[in-house]
Amino acid sequence: MNSCGEALLGLICGPLQAVRTGISVTSSVPNRLPSGKNSTAEKLLVAASELMIERSSIEISLSDIAQKSGVNAALVKYHFGNKDGLLLALLARDAATEMSNLEYLLAQPITATAKLKLHIAGIIRAYHRFPYMNRLIHYLLHESVAGSADEVSKFFVAPLLDFHRRLLAEGVSRGEFRQTDPVLFYTSLIGACDHLFFGRHAMSRATGVGPVTDDVCRQYIKHMETLICGGILTQAEEAAAAG
């Protein structure tokens, strides 16, 4: 990847930028994105995030979060309603970090194919940076309180699907992509990224593979680029990429 591509990737995968997607991510979660890095709510979110990364599990208690953050566990209810509210707020915060630059990527003066490759790398690195993200998504979609699934759809699924729809349409209009269904594309890309992390434990028992390291992440990015681009690029674009 050239220096321009690396710079774009850094922006896509980096901290939350001021540029917004233009897609509403409003949530009913109280104080979902607390202001101020030293706020009590932010301390609780940071503590929950660090605990889940340390333990490679989303099974953490309110007392664990309170001890880690130095905040009274009763304040979880004040800021988030309950532990599920805190987990939903954490996922919303992390998703916002990744979704905020999708509009920026679409506006860049590069080919749709280059944008696609940057997006593939960005999604995989997001799952690697927030290793609990996929488990939280599964939990909040299928096992949490009523309404959580709708919230996850608002701030994660819907914006990402909309981005895929527009990126694919741009690629088709430029003659770079074959006609591709956005829902099937989303299912393929997000499903593949999700399973790398969610199914890693099962694979480790069956094949002896180790954890998802930075090197594994880089290999998977290259693999997914080859797999997806090989499926949707037109023959002319494949020849141009190969050349």
**Is the pLDDT assigned to residue 49 strictly greater than 90?**
yes
Over residues 3-24, the pLDDT tens digits come to 333 333 333 333 223 223 333 3
Over residues 130-146, the pLDDT tens digits come to 878 888 888 888 887 77
DSSP conformation class of 39:
S
**Model-level pTM?**
0.73
**Is the pLDDT assigned to residue 234 strictly greater than 70?**
yes
Over residues 194-229, the pLDDT tens digits come to 777 766 555 555 555 666 788 888 998 999 999 999
**Is the pLDDT assigned to residue 92 strictly greater than 70?**
yes
Got the DSSP string for 4-29? Answer: HHHHHHHHHHSSPPS---SS-----S
Residue 127's pLDDT band, with cuts at 50, 70 and 90, is confident
Which has more pLDDT, 27 or 228? 228
Which has more pLDDT, 96 or 112? 112
> Minimal CA–CA distance to 76: which of 20, 30, 15, 130?
30
The confidence score (pLDDT) of residue 213 equals: 81
Rounded distance between C-alpha atoms, residue 178 and residue 175, angstroms? 8
Residue 221 identity (one-letter amino acid)? I
The confidence score (pLDDT) of residue 116 equals: 96
The confidence score (pLDDT) of residue 210 equals: 62
For the segment 99-117, the average pLDDT, to the nearest whole number, is 91
Over residues 147-186, the pLDDT tens digits come to 888 888 888 889 999 999 999 999 999 999 999 999 999 9
The confidence score (pLDDT) of residue 67 equals: 92
For the segment 229-241, the average pLDDT, to the nearest whole number, is 77
Rounded distance between C-alpha atoms, residue 182 and residue 179, angstroms? 9
Which has more pLDDT, 192 or 37? 192
Rounded distance between C-alpha atoms, residue 132 and residue 153, angstroms? 18
